[in-house]
A and B are shown apart, each in its own frame.
Chain A
Amino acid sequence: MLLWLVFDLVLIGAIVWLAWAALAARDGFEMIVLFMVLGLFVALAWVRLQAPDVALAEAAVGSGITGALLLKTWRHRRGRAAGDAAADARPSRALGFGVMGLVTVLTGMLAAVLVLIPRPAPSLAETVFANLAVSGVDNPVTAVLLNFRAYDTLLEVVVLFAVVVVVWLLGDAEADRRAPRLGSIFFGFARLVLPVMVLIAGYLLWLGGFAPGGAFQAGAVLGAVGIVLLLGRLYTPTAADRLPARLVFGLGTVGFAGAGLATLALGNAFLGYPPEAAKTWILVIEAMLTVSIAATLAGLFFGAAPSGRPTRESDR
């Protein structure tokens, strides 16, 4: 037990220090790398707290996709000192102390609340476990996400869809042309690793029914495949790819909402699956979500509506 305490204290100390070091780093690149390392440590802490589903998502997103997005943006602003402390206006001493005081009061209040709330806190866990048998899946987190609170997940997919629309409106596909071509080491890597990643994505999707995994984690891994394809120029989207891409982006929202309407047509509540076939419903919805989330994440990384450079026919 003492060793666990040592482990916990070192881990928590490292997390807090990393957060401070990342946000105080002089150099923008150092900040991004420290942030990615923070993702590793945070995932370890969540594993320690018996939250493997969340740690899995953090593993796929925090250190993978968010890191890639930050790096891309930092490179984009290269030469303009993005993220560097030099780009930072020094706050006045009074402002610094004022903010420090306010933050101290706020965190102190949060800590006081944590110490004072009655334990164990009220929880829906018993209700979830009692109804797990009729949910169609054995993993309680998947049951909450895709069955008990499926409405939340539907809206989450809508958020993803809205964001990809915004990013494609803002982006300029011509901006990142000056990247180097990758050599044979990369192609060897891609040939070996990308098929394995696709396999793992499928595995995670299937796993979500009874163990940590599920549509979002699978979608993040599959999205990472798309990001590698884009980075290595193994796939260069053209204007002709816009329509299919948009259809796949919309597949998650439309498919999920369509499933909800279908349940209404069957005489159930919105997204109330027939209990005897709940597993099939959930698996079909999750499969659609996986493909849609993967395409959306890759589309977010690409960061613009593809402009069809190779042919130029699109510039009517």
Chain B
Amino acid sequence: MSTALLYSFGGILLIGVALHRLVLTTDLLRRVVALNVFAAGIASLLIAAAYRGPEAAADPVPHAFVLTGIVVLVSTTAAALALIRRLDDLERSVDHDT
């Protein structure tokens, strides 16, 4: 079995694990982490697809996609976490009022 295929299956398992938790968990912070794991799985798939063996240079186009994806992911994560903190502040003030 080729190295790329092996790592692809690893990526698929990451996607599976992350998706399972993403759907079932109700905790918001855990959902954000699951989303990040999910993205790592997809990135692994793309990078495994770009692999051309130990001697040849890998395909740079999927690498560029993943790099862009990492930036967008950290942005998304930051926005989601800001929403979580905001929600928490609001819940706190409601608790305080009652």
Contacts and interface: CB of A to CB of B under 8 A. Distances in A.
A77 B88 contact: yes
A111 B77 CA distance: 28
B79 A167 contact: yes
Contact of A163 (B19, B68, B76): B76
A211 B4 CA distance: 23
Dominant SS among interface residues on chain A: helix
B61 A54 contact: no
A192 interface: no
Given A23-B30, A99-B20, A16 B13 contact: yes
Contacts of A8: 3, 6-7
Given A53-B63, A114-B8, A80 B13 contact: no
Interface in A16-65: 16, 19-20, 22-24, 28, 31-32, 35, 38-39, 42, 45-46, 48-51, 53-54, 57-58, 61-62, 65
A120 interface: yes
Given A99-B20, A114-B45, A125-B61, 10 more contacts: A12-B10, A20-B17, A49-B48, A51-B50, A87-B27, A125-B60, A128-B61, A141-B60, A170-B82, A170-B85
User: Considering the complex of A and B, which 6 residue pairs feature the smallest CB-CB distances, nearest first?
Assistant: A140-B60, A12-B10, A144-B64, A107-B16, A23-B21, A83-B29
29 contacts: A4-B3, A15-B10, A19-B14, A19-B17, A32-B33, A39-B40, A49-B51, A69-B74, A72-B81, A74-B29, A82-B84, A87-B27, A104-B16, A110-B12, A110-B15, A114-B8, A120-B52, A123-B61, A125-B58, A144-B64, A152-B68, A156-B68, A159-B71, A159-B75, A160-B71, A166-B82, A170-B86, A216-B71, A300-B75
